Structure 1
Amino acid sequence: MINPKAPIPSSSSSLPQLLRCFTIFLYSIISMLKGKLKLPEKARKAFPDRLGSLVVGFDDREEDNAGLGSVFDFGEELETFQPNGFSSNRESDRNEGDGDGFDDEKMGGVGESDLRARQRPERESGSISVLQAIAAEEKRSDLEHELSQPEINLEKLQRVAATGLPDGGSLRATTWKLLLGYLPSSRDIWEKELAENRQKYAKLKEELLLNPAEVTRRKDGAMSSGDNQPADSDSDIDGPLKRHEISQEDHPLSLGKGSVWHQYFQHTEIAEQIDRDLQRTHPDMKFFSGDSSFGRKNREAMRNILLLFSKLNPEIRYVQGMNEVLAPIFYVFSTDADEQNSANAEADSFSCFVRLLSDSVDHFCQQLDNSSVGILSTLSRLMELLKANDEELWRHLEFTTKQVKPQYYAFRWITLLLTQEFNFQSILRIWDSLLSNTFGVQDMLLRLCCAMLICMKGRLLSGDFVANLKLLQHYPEINVEHLLQVARDLRVDASSYHFSM
């Protein structure tokens, strides 16, 4: 511990020496206070055991080492975690191998380097900003307090979620369920609502996902168990066996539209398509991929959800890409720290997946493409929003470069809710804002798509048709918090742009 009677460096001492002395003196005071004061548990979490864990280069030392040598470099910038504690670096380049990756040299120094996450050398994992640590703990505490109330304030929950939800625990899973309307605002009836919804899902699976032969077998078994007489008691045992009467609709070879077997075989083809798509869902994550029982179990649950959705929506069925929309929901619910919730992730994910698609399901229906609720109308509203906020860029894309139409790039952005444009951790952060938007998911989604164009303005203005198309179809890595801020700051021209409420 530092000697409080030690002489203070003279005015001729360098600034770094003064700062070092002040830092060590502050640490000694904190150490003494923590030894005498009894802090509550939450305060202890936010209050690190050593000041050095919050400062770059502060090595763990014994308390009797009171030398005033170099403790850390003051010329070195403090490292901070990216939002939600995830690194901005992708584990693997999405475009590796096909020549579509974008590096700093290809950026051409047009100004987008400030938008991309800064690349820094590896440092100690404990080197985080003090202010960020305090802010993150305050957000977590506020969120835990709000979710523990008998009546949830949804407006406050939306404001907190819009800034990003903490990782770990049950906070994101519970908040998403509330934002999607799966959980009611009254906490007292959560248990009842969850039990009913999970029971309904189990019944739907039994009715729609079982092989027709299995359904018939169960029915026959139920009828036999309820009859006091043996099933063949009235038959002549020595005579020929009687054939079961099978209607045309129940025959496995029937081609009738009403045949349960014909419907079953039709959905078998859809199930095969779902299986192929699930194999390509985030292949870099063990949660979704691999031959382990863990990965197979998760894919099987997602397969059930998508196949059940297809059977319940025969006009739309399953459309390629729905697996990407389901993935974030199922991941968040499956990793819920509450064991009962994680065990029922499949049922909860199905209900929330249906709710999420309810606002955008028309985008998957080709027959509605040219209608007011179809994808082409939505793409038109996107370009109107761009025109209202950056007419120069809008004019360049519409007229100067052979019309880089939004169908070429934004179709995927919108229908898949940006799930293929960013790494998985960034997707979770973006969805916090999407789901918490006061005016709905589609409002914030179009704002984000417009912001993605504006953030690439320099490169788009200087690029030709081919370069711009390649850029937008393989969107480069970007600082997600900056992108979200640009989206929030966009103005809406009421005379030419109208969000559906």
Structure 2
Amino acid sequence: MVNKRIPDWLNNSMWSSSTTTPPPPPKSQSEYQSSPPQSPSHDDRIGTYPSKPSSVTSSDSSANERRESLPSPSSMRPESPSKPGPAPRTEVRDPLTSSGSSDNDGSSPVEDVSRQAQLLQELSRKIINMGELQRLASQGIPDGAGIRSTVWKLLLAYLPVDKGLWSSELAKKRSQYKLFKEDLLKNPSEVTRKLEESTSSQNGEQTRDDKGLLSRSEIPEGEHPLSLGKTSIWNQFFQDTEIIEQIDRDVKRTHPDMHFFSGDSASAKANQDALKNILIVYAKLNPGIRYVQGMNEILAPLFYVFKNDPNEDFVMNAEADTFFCFVELLSGFRDNFCKQLDNSVVGIRSTISKMSQLLKEHDEELWRHLELTTKVNPQFYAFRWITLLLTQEFNFADILHIWDTLLSDHEGPQETLLRICCAMLILVRRRLLAGDFTANLKLLQSYPSTNISHLLYVANKLRSHSTP
């Protein structure tokens, strides 16, 4: 019988009964949601690829847009929004300034205070014990006091474990980023102007009428605006324009429900400029991948946390710090963004297959119902879950809590991410087992509100109950 494959801890009443209270952490609220409405057509087997449901009611139309989804990963990558998306979810709170814990957070204020004290004690050591820091952070980092900012930098190996090296390492990295910007964000006209100044100084003083101007014969081929040569800075500039325009559009659509990222205020515009700078520099330093739509969503939590650090020095250098942490975080997932690797053993298809096998290992009944009975291909929903690190599925405060666990796992964030994705399926297994293709696809493409602490608890159980 298939049910024999299901572990006892998984095949108990907590997954099927709304009257049984599971042991702490608190049970998932997702099991209490009403059945999702049916999609208009059962024949729409490729479904839709909705953008992140807005976490607050917003008049910005981009918050209610949807992205198309196609069967192959290369064509399923996030596209420009084209269809109206699901209704906005719940109002987001500012996780770093609001008091109290999230409604979806099962931790108590006493636990938060205790864990905060333990984290502060660990951060006060001259040599950080990364094992202990990972253990504490995996349970969730309390908001406030700038703890998350420092811990994330340690978890992403941006800060060394020896605190005595922090000052020199930060100065070196921030200086390096400044050079990246000066070199990679320079307008070609600026290069030409400096060339003119250099040539003028070599030729001695010139008359006022022609000072600073070069004759056409004196302009090298690579610096001429009409040059089509591969080494021409102008030709490269025009090739980069499309990517830069895409980055600009995506950055302006980043969390339109949060004043930090959106609006006409000077701070919001400055934050958008910082995000654009980071993404452009990354694209130019990584020509094999460049920019893939959706990277802005992965960048946003990092910059938000670092920019809200109470340490003024960290705030002033948030852009540089975020760049290096973004590079480190993406290094573990970059193969998912490379179209040429989609069908390889390290590509996104393989990653999605691992998630599918993980579900089969822990709950074969649910796996059979999804993939064999209702034929819900995991690419239709898991592609976005995995490539965007769940940033489109939950409100911002919950994303930070999930990332505390992702970044703190000693096995690396990808294995933890797959367990969380599998746990997301298990938490709504009763509804999935009762649903058909249309209902299940709709449910998984617009995942219901859930208790994040409980979700992470179940994901951790999947680790402890893995078969050898």
Shorter-chain TM-score tier: 0.7 to 0.9
- 1:310 paired residue number: 283
Contact 1:102 1:476 in 2 (8 A): no
Within-5 A mapping of 1:449-468: 449-468=421-440
Residues 485, 241 of structure 1: alpha-carbon distance in 2 compared, 3 angstrom cutoff? closer
Among candidates 329, 334, 343, match of residue 316 of structure 2? 343
Q: Give the distance between the partners of 1:132 and 1:398, measured in 2 at CA.
A: 38
- 1:296 paired residue number: 269
Identity %: 56
Q: Give the distance between the partners of 1:415 and 1:384, measured in 2 at CA.
A: 18
- Does residue 1:150 correspond to 2:123, yes or no? no
Q: Give the distance between the partners of 2:310 and 2:250, measured in 1 at CA.
A: 28
TM-score normalised by length of structure 1: 0.71
Contact 1:162 1:437 in 2 (8 A): yes
- 1:433 paired residue number: 405
TM-aligned CA deviation for residue 241 of structure 1: 8.2
Among candidates 252, 274, 294, match of residue 279 of structure 1? 252
Deviations 1:253-294 (A, max 9, x none): 122222111111111111110111112111000011112111
SS of the residue corresponding to residue 490 of structure 1 reads helix
Q: Give the distance between the partners of 1:137 and 1:153, measured in 2 at CA.
A: 20
Q: Give the distance between the partners of 2:434 and 2:88, measured in 1 at CA.
A: 16
Q: Give the distance between the partners of 2:281 and 2:314, measured in 1 at CA.
A: 21
Q: Give the distance between the partners of 1:279 and 1:364, measured in 2 at CA.
A: 21
Contact 1:169 1:338 in 2 (8 A): no
- 2:135 paired residue number: 159
* Stretch deviating more after TM superposition (273-282 or 177-186): 273-282
* Stretch deviating more after TM superposition (172-181 or 274-283): 274-283
- 2:34 paired residue number: none
TM-score normalised by length of structure 2: 0.76
- 1:230 paired residue number: 204
SS of the residue corresponding to residue 409 of structure 1 reads helix
SS of the residue corresponding to residue 322 of structure 2 reads helix
Among candidates 163, 171, 175, match of residue 187 of structure 1? 163
Contact 2:100 2:109 in 1 (8 A): no
TM-aligned CA deviation for residue 135 of structure 1: 2.5
Q: Give the distance between the partners of 1:178 and 1:422, measured in 2 at CA.
A: 25
Aligned residues, how many?
380
Q: Give the distance between the partners of 2:466 and 2:113, measured in 1 at CA.
A: 38
Consecutive unaligned residues of structure 1, counting only runs of 5 or more, are: 1-81, 83-88, 104-123, 496-501
TM-aligned CA deviation for residue 231 of structure 1: 4.2
Cα RMSD of the aligned pairs, angstroms, is 2.9
- 2:30 paired residue number: none
Larger relative contact order (C-alpha < 8 A, sep ≥ 6)? 2
Q: Give the distance between the partners of 1:216 and 1:392, measured in 2 at CA.
A: 66
- Does residue 1:488 correspond to 2:455, yes or no? no
Amino acid at match of 2:457: Q
- 2:178 paired residue number: 202
Q: Give the distance between the partners of 1:202 and 1:320, measured in 2 at CA.
A: 25
Q: Give the distance between the partners of 2:260 and 2:165, measured in 1 at CA.
A: 32
TM-aligned CA deviation for residue 493 of structure 1: 4.7
Amino acid at match of 1:91: V
- 1:112 paired residue number: none
Amino acid at match of 1:190: W
- 1:357 paired residue number: 330
- 1:326 paired residue number: 299
Q: Give the distance between the partners of 2:214 and 2:395, measured in 1 at CA.
A: 63
Q: Give the distance between the partners of 1:317 and 1:139, measured in 2 at CA.
A: 39
Q: Give the distance between the partners of 1:479 and 1:275, measured in 2 at CA.
A: 34
Q: Give the distance between the partners of 1:236 and 1:198, measured in 2 at CA.
A: 42
- Does residue 1:177 correspond to 2:137, yes or no? no
Among candidates 102, 116, 121, match of residue 140 of structure 1? 116
- Does residue 1:412 correspond to 2:384, yes or no? yes
SS of the residue corresponding to residue 311 of structure 1 reads helix
Q: Give the distance between the partners of 2:198 and 2:318, measured in 1 at CA.
A: 30
Structure having the higher Rg: 1
Amino acid at match of 1:325: I
Deviations 1:352-389 (A, max 9, x none): 00000001101011110000100000000001100010
Q: Give the distance between the partners of 2:368 and 2:88, measured in 1 at CA.
A: 25
Q: Give the distance between the partners of 1:183 and 1:408, measured in 2 at CA.
A: 38
Residues 326, 236 of structure 1: alpha-carbon distance in 2 compared, 3 angstrom cutoff? closer
Q: Give the distance between the partners of 1:267 and 1:90, measured in 2 at CA.
A: 33
Residues 136, 464 of structure 1: alpha-carbon distance in 2 compared, 3 angstrom cutoff? same
Residues 245, 480 of structure 1: alpha-carbon distance in 2 compared, 3 angstrom cutoff? same
Q: Give the distance between the partners of 2:177 and 2:85, measured in 1 at CA.
A: 44
Q: Give the distance between the partners of 2:175 and 2:181, measured in 1 at CA.
A: 10
